[in-house]
Amino acid sequence: MRITAAVTEAKGAPFLLTELDSGELRPGEVRVRIAAAGICHTDLICRDQWLPVPLPAVLGHEGAGIVEEVGPAVTKVVPGDRVGLTFDSCGSCNACRIAKPSYCHHFWEHNFAASRPADGSTVLHRDGQPVHAHFFGQSSFATYAVATERNVVKLPDEIALDVAAPFGCGLQTGAGAVLTSLAAPAGSSLVVFGTGTVGLAAVLAGVIAGCATIVGVDVNPARLSLARELGATHVVNAAEQDAVEAVRAITGGGADFALETTGSPAVLRNCVDCTAPLGVTGVIGAPALGTEVSLDVTTILTGGRVVRGIVEGDSVPDVFLPRLAELHRQGRFPVEALLTFYDFDQIEQAARDAEAGRTIKAVLRMS
């Protein structure tokens, strides 16, 4: 079938809407008519080859839409189902078997190789030539995406598809980091460095978890103001004061939990340095491949501090995404405050606005 997709031709190239051919479904695959797709930082750094995703490719990994067709052996969804798309995983490695699919031993092949893991093929072609697809098991910068049974999640009727789209990565990552990865208990203190999509989702989750102190750190006054509106008890403008000293003062010596969402090694160091003894720092922000960080060993050793990576908020999507949707229905996860909507043919403007910080979460509407 013919589809329209935003193709990234080469490193740093613009997203160009292009007519492509989408082939037949294989066992376990699901074709989804995309209604909306969020633009994530990961899409942009893969376009710019911070991570070596093969090009030309169709990116996009926060899709939502309607199931159009299912391949052989698919039983989880049927045509007409409303679904969100999220990361893919193999389902058979040790991590997947213990319900930790975001740490799938084959995560790269299923999400960044931009091809079918089994044989390296692609469902998309242009004039008979392959175009890389299957990015995060979906490539949702398109009017139709081919996902897998594992990475589609049924959505309740109450949530709009353009609101649900970014649940698939950015929102579940921030919220899951607090609620699942760190399991922050009521009364604890949380500091979030970076108040973009992931950081603000973490702030909202801190409120849901009952954290007594929630500190947002950024250099953007407007985002800090929004963090306050969404439940941060304190904000710190790191351009105006020493963030580590400020957080220590606010928390009475150090935070129980810290999240690094910016991808900056210097900010990661600040996160670790502002945690209390036995504090945990979660690393979410993605810098270029090969980026290293310098930490003071004594700070970690004598304080029993923990630094751990967090992918997709340790989410089991079939469980966690419906949970977030229910919190949204209750008014406890008001993510609309983060979203700015664009028509599909405005994708390049949306990407530029996201990079410049003019929008927090850009969401494309395909209709």
In 3D space, the residue among 75, 71, 77, 68 whose CA is nearest the CA of residue 34 turns out to be 68
The Cα 320–Cα 318 span in angstroms is 6
Write down the pLDDT at residue 367.
Answer: 81
Confidence of residue 289 (pLDDT cuts 50, 70, 90): confident
Residues 279-301 as b/e (b if ≥16 CB within 10 A, e otherwise) read bbbbbbbbbeeeeeeebeeeeee
Beta bridge partners of 132: 57
pLDDT digits (tens, 9 = 90+) for 128-159: 999 999 999 999 999 999 999 999 999 999 99
Give all domains of the chain, ordered by start, each with its CATH number.
2-168+334-365 (3.90.180.10), 174-311 (3.40.50.720)
Indicate if the pLDDT at residue 269 is higher than 90: yes
Residues 30-66 as b/e (b if ≥16 CB within 10 A, e otherwise) read bbbbbbbbbbbbbbbbbbebbbebebbbbbbbbbbbe
Residues making up the chain, counted from first to last:
367
Q: What is the mean pLDDT of residues 24-42?
A: 97
Q: Is the dihedral of CA 234, 237, 240, 243 positive or negative?
A: positive
Indicate if the pLDDT at residue 256 is higher than 90: yes
Q: What average pLDDT does the structure give for the chain?
A: 97
pLDDT digits (tens, 9 = 90+) for 66-117: 999 999 999 999 999 999 999 999 999 999 999 999 999 999 999 999 999 9
pTM for this one?
A: 0.96
